Structure 1
Amino acid sequence: MITRLLFFFCFLLCTLSGWSQIVLPATPDPLFSTYYHQRVSHFGSLPASAKDIVFLGNSITDGAEWVELFTDNRLKNRGISGDVSAGILHRLPQIAAGKPAKIFLLIGTNDLARNIPADSLLKNIYRIAAYLRQETPLTKLFVQSILPVNTAFNKFARHTNKGDQIRKVNAQLQQNALANHYTFIDLFAAFANEKGELAATFTNDGLHLTGKGYTLWKHLVYPYVFGVESRPALIPVPQKTQWLPGYFSLLAGKTIVVKGKTLKPEAEQLRQLLGAKGISVKIIEEAKGNEPFIELRLGKINAPQYPEEAYQLEVTAKKVVLTANTAHGIFNGIQTLSQLIRDNVLVDACLITDWPAFSWRGYMVDVGRNFQSVALLKQQIDKMAQYKLNIFHFHLTEDIAWRLQIPKYPQLTAPEHMLRNKGAYYSVSEMKDLIQYCRDRYITLVPEIDVPGHSAAFVRAMGVEMQSPEGLALVKEILTDVCQTYDVPYIHLGGDEVKITNPDFLPAVTSLLHRLGKKTIGWEPGGNLADNTIRQLWMTEGPRQPNLKYIDSRHLYINHMDPLESVITIYNRQLGDAIQGTEQVLGATFCVWHDRNVLKEEDVLHMNPVYPAMLAFAERSWQGGGYSGWITNIKSSASQQLQVFKDFEKRLLEHQKLYFASLPFSYAAQSELKWELLGPFKNGGDVAQVFAPEKKGFKPENSPFTAVGGTVVLRHFWHPLVTGVLENPEENTTWYAYTRFWSDVSTTKKFWIGFNNLSRSYNSNSPVEGTWDNRGSAVFLNNQLLTPPQWQRAGQKGNGEAPLLDEGYEYRAPITAPVHKGWNKILVKLPVKSFKGSDWQNPVKWMFTVVPLSEE
């Protein structure tokens, strides 16, 4: 058998050596075992898809339960015990026919054991790579190093005496990875002991793996399977992180050590978190012998600010120790630990010391206009907690509806006094439940009872204006009831967007709340608030007063933002114009004001970039720093700023993939998209006028005007307060944007394309049939004009009660278009006439979004 196999190797190499087109020879079936043919036959009877992740190899691959190991049905075991590289080549057409997304190849141990020359083995592996690239070029191939072997078990002598050859083959596989178009994964180093042999802890025969070995294998290939970074992506990134060699085994660590009752709630939360990941642990008060353990403990953590939220996390092979000054700090550390255990088996050793830059890190939901169920609110609160946000600003009352039950005045929540979601409100018990739900996650719920503005629902229900004497008396009575019913430290009064006709109204209300032991917050600019009322900034207007405290929400309304823009602008913000919290600047709150009606409650999360923005805000409000000014794009010339954003985007995309797979998360990679901006061309008000970039034979040269990102804002509708990429935008001009992207194959590709991401607060008109927008914008792919979508409500006049349906690229089906192998060109035409909209509901936001979407 061995002689015949050696002959076949020589025959195979001679057959293939002269071919540029890889054609695999017919191989005599008797060269392979009965088991080999059984497995190949079985594989051929199973379904295959382009989503498959195939593990291909010999008995070491064959022995794993890959689907259970990764809890992912996409993983396919295509290992055959005893297989060699010639066997892989023989059955490779069957594998390639399924066009799998990824292939993880581990082969060679049996080849060397049968004295197949190392050069022959390497050539076969390179042939495997070449054939796959030829037949299924979109498949990503990962060639894993041959594992070390161990002679001490006195088994498989022909295999275990090949240690030197294994190392030489691995070195060549690593060296020639780029030339052969595969990714090399070094498993050898992690499995080897100090002698370079397979560590005894991973095997019981010197060749094959035990469960512990497969656990390590999973940990090593996890980043490649899911397309994430080699180290867990942490958001918000800690203030200090030191990665160390080694790892802690969650399967070996069966206990959480916590002394006394103080941290029992946090220990129970951690136990449940681990349980959800399939890891069963017990809570005990003392560590047992030499068993690995996780410990939660209070201690002294030095932090330059906000020590009550600081923590230190130490991970070694023997233990995970989480120390903090308070239980809140322990909770914060648990959120980081959760992200460290992304593969649910091993935690990379590290030392993290962390604390927040701002004490106030808030998220605001407006349920007055569009009601959200308690279940949907809790989903968002869970995500807030996961990313260490600590303020849930709950906007409960509006012109549309009053959503908080006041038992004495049921007319406030009566259906006939609501304009939307009639009869939907939060009962006293539901409100108490939400407050406690937040408190259990170290989040403070801040209810907003908006007075005296935004109060039409109150007027309909009570029959009086708020600022009248009768109205003021009712408001005082209602607020007293709220204060006595709910255990919350703050009451938000609103106070903005109203003509103050009773100058005593707000002073009387704030004085009452302060006497009842509540702290107050109001919008700024707004009404005549007390000096000890915290101001929440929503617009730049007037100098700040040194005796006041502030929360920043300026240009943090994501209902006005394009999803891709939101992440860039929030991530780069300098919150409160400060790099960290001060006595005056407490922090910031980002807000969702979805004024327009929605068809279903989830649309608020689909049409506003809630979760991408939340992660960008979480990092900036925890980490501090940022850049002054309000920007919408990163200039390609700002290399340091761009590189920092690219690092964040990698982490953001990992979290999107791992933690938001079933939730709305409107984001796509954009930091590598660089646009050449060509212009300006004077169009004299004729937006259809054609200029040189559209004409045949035009070759764009390097332009001094460049932009980075999937969304590019040339001029914001709040210019110059919010800046676009053009420093001096002019009316009656046309610009063009040019870029190109690579495709490995000719195929059909999906794109996000849009030219006017409608604010969800303005009653803007929908695009007219046959147009992208009302500016005459266009996009060309490889010189072919792309057709706009067939709008469901083409030309719909702005109407707050007419829900948006497909006006935003992030909540409609992507555009599909053919692309060819090699470089593909995108040209975007961007004409504009006046910067003045037809009315205030239709502002001119001169922008475009074009993003080739990744298939992974």
Structure 2
Amino acid sequence: MTVMRKFVFLLLFLFLGSASWAQVKPVKLEDNLFSTYHHQRATLFRSLPHTPGDIIFLGNSISDGGEWSELFADSRLKNRGISGDVSAGVMHRLDEVAGRKPAKVFLLIGTNDLAQGIAPDSLLKNLFWIADYLQEKTPGTQVYMQSILPVNDQFGKFGGHTRNGEVIKQVNAQLQANAGAHTYTYLDLHTPFSDNAGKLDSKYTNDGLHLNGDGYMFWKHLVYDEVFDLEPKPAVLPAPQQLEWTEAAFPLYRVRSIVVQEEGLRVEAERLKSILAERGLAVQIKPKAVAGEPHIALALAKIEAPHQAEEAYALEVTKEKVQLQANTAHGIFNGLQTLTQLMRDGTFIPGGKILDWPAFGWRGYMVDVGRNFQTMEMLKEQIDVMAKYKLNIFHFHLTEDIAWRLEVPRYPQLTAPEHMMRNKGAYYTVAEMQELIQYCKDRYITLVPEIDMPGHSAAFTRAMGVDMQSEEGLAYLKNILNDFSDTYDVPYVHIGGDEVKITNPDFLPQVTAWLHERGKKTIGWDPGGNLDQATIRQLWMKEGATNPDHTYIESRHLYLNHMDPLEAVTTIFSRQFGDRVEGDGKVLGATLCVWNDRNVLQQEDVLRLNPVYPGILAFAERSWKGGGHPGWITNIPVSQPTRVQEFQEFERRLTDLQASYFKDMPFPYAAQADISWKLFGPYKNKGDLSATFAPEKKGFKGRKPDAQAVGGTVVLRHFWDPLVRGVLEKPAENTTWYATTRFWSETDTTGHFWIGFQDLSRSYNSDTPASGTWDDRGSVLFLNGKLVTPPMWKRAGQKGNAEIPLLDEGYSYREPVALPVKKGWNTVLVKLPVGSLKGKDWQNPVKWMFTFVPVDFKGRKPMGDIL
């Protein structure tokens, strides 16, 4: 009997002798059944160190031929392919794979089995055994069963394989049908790798069985989303106005030229060249395409758009080329940002057609450097993020009571260290300001400087020795503005004008008239001072009707410093800017603001303590796409399933971009759209916040919930209620509510969670919770009936002080809570008592809320019952 016949006989003996598939029994075969090469590779695999989070490609020569870590630019990807291997060979060495507890296993095996006469049923039993074994030994591992690839007999090689085309299809059909029963994800590679005749497409092979370089690049493209837990299609954010996917795919890795004829697009062509170079692609800029060569073409053309036609673009991706057209270079720039997102995997760009334009022409982001200085490097990082997501206004708040941050050569005392209260001596020179203006212009962003007047001007008073509204102060200010206008090429000057008692009613009219004479447009805060009609109003407070004689920018309820990270994304996504679905002559658009009034330990804390980047992406979506809903809310309303679905779709794109582009940047966000809560209450606690009620009792079965919510953060009542609505329609004092959800775990493990019951504004001087408490309301949380201990606060009971930085008061900037999670269903119960709804002072408002969300817990199913 030959070795292979012995092999087949042994396999049949193993399976016929197995009494049950309910328990996966180990398989050990004789070493002499396997080749020398098999032992070389297998012994190497056993000798390599164990590393966490491995993603293993397991199989025969087809897997063996892939340079997986290099192909995906990720050292976690490991090659466990052995040329010539069969399913039993994988079974023989599977303990080595399982022992590593990998995050994922991508299995491709079987063509050699069929070629050697092993029956399809026996092969399938082996493959199911492999999946079951991994499920039992390492349940946290996600197993991907890849279909056996098609074969092609036109090359006259590997006849034992290429005759099995129909049998391969039958095996694949069974692999797909049994995915649920054996807890693996089936990946169909057969269909995309097939030509019209159902054979392995000849462009991906040179022998009819194995893959060439093009084949491996295509394989990467097909499984990229599964490797990195992404959506099947690249995330495009903001979402285009019109997007139609096709089945085509452009081979990006083969592109060698950018075709552009207009000299006015040379800068954008060079920009694209740099983008491709970052992906390891060397291209040339040419006036004409080479026949048959994949290329990207940029061109000016008439693009019809109902709004902001100067920013519109049209993008078409076919298998032969990428065509990007726009009315202006700015439109081409916008299209390049979308194209960059479509280049997600660096190999193929999915085919499709896009026609796109912004709903609002003013899409701004504001930073306050008066209170907390930021370096040029950090400012440029934020401007780069703005540009990638098509924001076009950088609002630069330069002066404050704390410090004056802009060099004025005529008056050097303005930036003298002794006149600053924080970051003493830190300011922007004339050269740096000019550099920043140009840096913005190069990205089609307008820098809008704000010199706050006459309020927020204590630094001016300290430096100049006079009040800004005095006659002498106004004279100084006119000199400053005159020099400013001579020095900086900016179309707008923001004059502030709010939060001050106007003692000189001629002050703001004189200042605005002076700037208008110098050709500058002015912007001021509303509510604020006595602005003239020509000055654009930037709304910052209160909901209500606007004056039809004025022009507006929306910033109401767009202050990230007041927002919980998870709430920020839901509330911004829901917004309707200026009570409009698109911009017009009266509402230009909106500006998202970061006012970190409280001192920080280091400049990066402005991005770490505030949800800046997730907020920017949510804002980019809404300000570009338009739409939204009336009113200001904190949570997506579960009573409107369409809105829940819209948010879930958006969040999938958001988290894809988070994983792909923000790995090394502060991005305080965790997926929350699949978390649903049942709320029970109100129970009258009569002011006793420790009082217990039915949901805490053992065996509480509940009833129809009194309210429901979706999200990782649930705000029962916002501190600006009723202007900003929470989940409860009629929140009442001296009541207790309970919220419950549950989640499934595939194994006993340790989960890590964001847990919190208040998110301190970075502008209020709020107190830190007392030792041994989550908050001052008596909130508690139970996981599987066990009380979760509050954090050991670094400054427990610290009275709020603007000069004392926050350290760990927010869940998103302290260590996640590690909790034991059991296999199966896990139940979360949150107790939410409240006494008075009025804070003890304005610095400590009552924001009745809680947060519970997994941050790195693999293997869980959606929490609660998604509505």
Moved more, 351-360 or 285-294: 285-294
Equivalent residue in structure 1 for 2:110, among 108, 111, 115: 108
1:629 aligns with 2:631: yes
Where 2:618 maps in the other structure, the secondary structure is helix
**Partners in 1 of 2:17 and 2:463 — Cα distance?**
88
Letter in 2 for 1:419: M
1:41-190 superposed matches below 5 A: 41-190=43-192
Equivalent residue in structure 2 for 1:432, among 431, 434, 442: 434
Change (3 A) 1:482 1:16: farther
Where 1:262 maps in the other structure, the secondary structure is helix
Moved more, 699-708 or 336-345: 699-708
Letter in 2 for 1:692: A
1:462-541 superposed matches below 5 A: 462-540=464-542
**Partners in 1 of 2:290 and 2:530 — Cα distance?**
62
**Partners in 1 of 2:291 and 2:195 — Cα distance?**
25
Where 2:509 maps in the other structure, the secondary structure is helix
Letter in 2 for 1:246: A
Letter in 2 for 1:67: S
1:586-625 superposed matches below 5 A: 586-625=588-627
1:338-377 superposed matches below 5 A: 338-377=340-379
- 1:38: Cα distance to partner? 0.7
Where 2:622 maps in the other structure, the secondary structure is helix
1:106-505 superposed matches below 5 A: 106-505=108-507
| Structure 1 contact 364–393 (Cα < 8 Å) conserved | yes
Equivalent residue in structure 1 for 2:835, among 826, 833, 840: 833
**Partners in 1 of 2:829 and 2:254 — Cα distance?**
56
**Partners in 2 of 1:700 and 1:663 — Cα distance?**
43
- 1:694: Cα distance to partner? 1.2
Q: Which residue of 1 aligns with 2:864?
A: none
Where 2:250 maps in the other structure, the secondary structure is strand
**Partners in 2 of 1:546 and 1:214 — Cα distance?**
61
| Structure 2 contact 248–350 (Cα < 8 Å) conserved | yes
Deviations 1:624-680 (A, max 9, x none): 000000000122221010000000011111000001011011111111111111111
| Structure 1 contact 676–703 (Cα < 8 Å) conserved | yes
Letter in 2 for 1:824: N
| Structure 1 contact 48–100 (Cα < 8 Å) conserved | no
| Structure 2 contact 255–281 (Cα < 8 Å) conserved | no
Deviations 1:385-435 (A, max 9, x none): 000000000000000000011111111111111000111111111111111
- 1:160: Cα distance to partner? 1.1
**Partners in 2 of 1:853 and 1:17 — Cα distance?**
42
Where 2:681 maps in the other structure, the secondary structure is strand
| Structure 1 contact 514–520 (Cα < 8 Å) conserved | yes
Where 2:166 maps in the other structure, the secondary structure is helix
Letter in 2 for 1:786: V
- 1:11: Cα distance to partner? 2.1
Deviations 1:233-264 (A, max 9, x none): 11000000111112111122200011131000
Where 1:3 maps in the other structure, the secondary structure is helix
- 1:12: Cα distance to partner? 2.5
Percent of aligned pairs sharing the same letter: 63
- 1:17: Cα distance to partner? 4.4
- 1:8: Cα distance to partner? 2.1
**Partners in 2 of 1:221 and 1:836 — Cα distance?**
54
Change (3 A) 1:655 1:541: closer
1:544-693 superposed matches below 5 A: 544-693=546-695
Where 1:263 maps in the other structure, the secondary structure is helix
Deviations 1:267-316 (A, max 9, x none): 11111011111111111111112211100000000001110000000111
**Partners in 1 of 2:730 and 2:543 — Cα distance?**
24
**Partners in 1 of 2:563 and 2:159 — Cα distance?**
66
1:8-47 superposed matches below 5 A: 8-47=10-49
Q: Which residue of 1 aligns with 2:855?
A: 853
Number of equivalent positions: 856
Moved more, 703-712 or 639-648: 703-712
**Which ranges of structure 1 fall in alignment gaps of 5 or more residues?**
none
**Partners in 2 of 1:818 and 1:378 — Cα distance?**
42
**Which ranges of structure 2 fall in alignment gaps of 5 or more residues?**
859-867
Letter in 1 for 2:116: R
Where 2:27 maps in the other structure, the secondary structure is coil
**Partners in 1 of 2:8 and 2:544 — Cα distance?**
85
**Partners in 2 of 1:381 and 1:786 — Cα distance?**
41
- 1:480: Cα distance to partner? 1.1
Q: Which residue of 1 aligns with 2:778?
A: 776
Letter in 2 for 1:756: Q
Letter in 2 for 1:113: A
**Partners in 2 of 1:272 and 1:293 — Cα distance?**
15
**Partners in 1 of 2:407 and 2:824 — Cα distance?**
62
Change (3 A) 1:469 1:226: same
Letter in 2 for 1:826: V
Q: RMSD between aligned alpha carbons? A: 0.9
Letter in 2 for 1:415: P
**Partners in 2 of 1:36 and 1:512 — Cα distance?**
83
Change (3 A) 1:817 1:265: same
Deviations 1:181-215 (A, max 9, x none): 11111111111111111111111111111100000
**Partners in 2 of 1:12 and 1:413 — Cα distance?**
83
**Partners in 2 of 1:46 and 1:403 — Cα distance?**
55
Letter in 2 for 1:273: I
**Partners in 1 of 2:827 and 2:8 — Cα distance?**
50
Where 2:724 maps in the other structure, the secondary structure is coil
**Partners in 1 of 2:276 and 2:813 — Cα distance?**
34
Change (3 A) 1:447 1:16: farther
**Partners in 2 of 1:16 and 1:838 — Cα distance?**
71
Where 2:651 maps in the other structure, the secondary structure is helix
- 1:542: Cα distance to partner? 5.8
- 1:852: Cα distance to partner? 2.4
| Structure 1 contact 399–457 (Cα < 8 Å) conserved | yes
Deviations 1:511-532 (A, max 9, x none): 0100000100000000001101
Deviations 1:811-852 (A, max 9, x none): 000011111111111111111111111111000101111112
- 1:483: Cα distance to partner? 1.1
Moved more, 589-598 or 536-545: 536-545
| Structure 1 contact 16–24 (Cα < 8 Å) conserved | no
- 1:15: Cα distance to partner? 4.1
- 1:48: Cα distance to partner? 2.1
- 1:547: Cα distance to partner? 1.6
**Partners in 1 of 2:161 and 2:19 — Cα distance?**
29
Moved beyond 3 Å, runs of 4+: none
Letter in 2 for 1:59: S
Deviations 1:565-590 (A, max 9, x none): 00000001001100000110100001
Change (3 A) 1:75 1:542: closer
Change (3 A) 1:542 1:215: closer
- 1:541: Cα distance to partner? 6.2
**Partners in 2 of 1:15 and 1:25 — Cα distance?**
12
Where 1:667 maps in the other structure, the secondary structure is coil
Moved more, 176-185 or 620-629: 176-185
Where 2:306 maps in the other structure, the secondary structure is coil
Letter in 2 for 1:843: P
**Partners in 2 of 1:699 and 1:80 — Cα distance?**
54
Letter in 1 for 2:629: Y
Letter in 1 for 2:255: G
Where 1:244 maps in the other structure, the secondary structure is strand
Change (3 A) 1:551 1:127: same
| Structure 1 contact 525–541 (Cα < 8 Å) conserved | no
Change (3 A) 1:16 1:99: farther
TM-score (norm 1): 0.99
Where 2:44 maps in the other structure, the secondary structure is helix
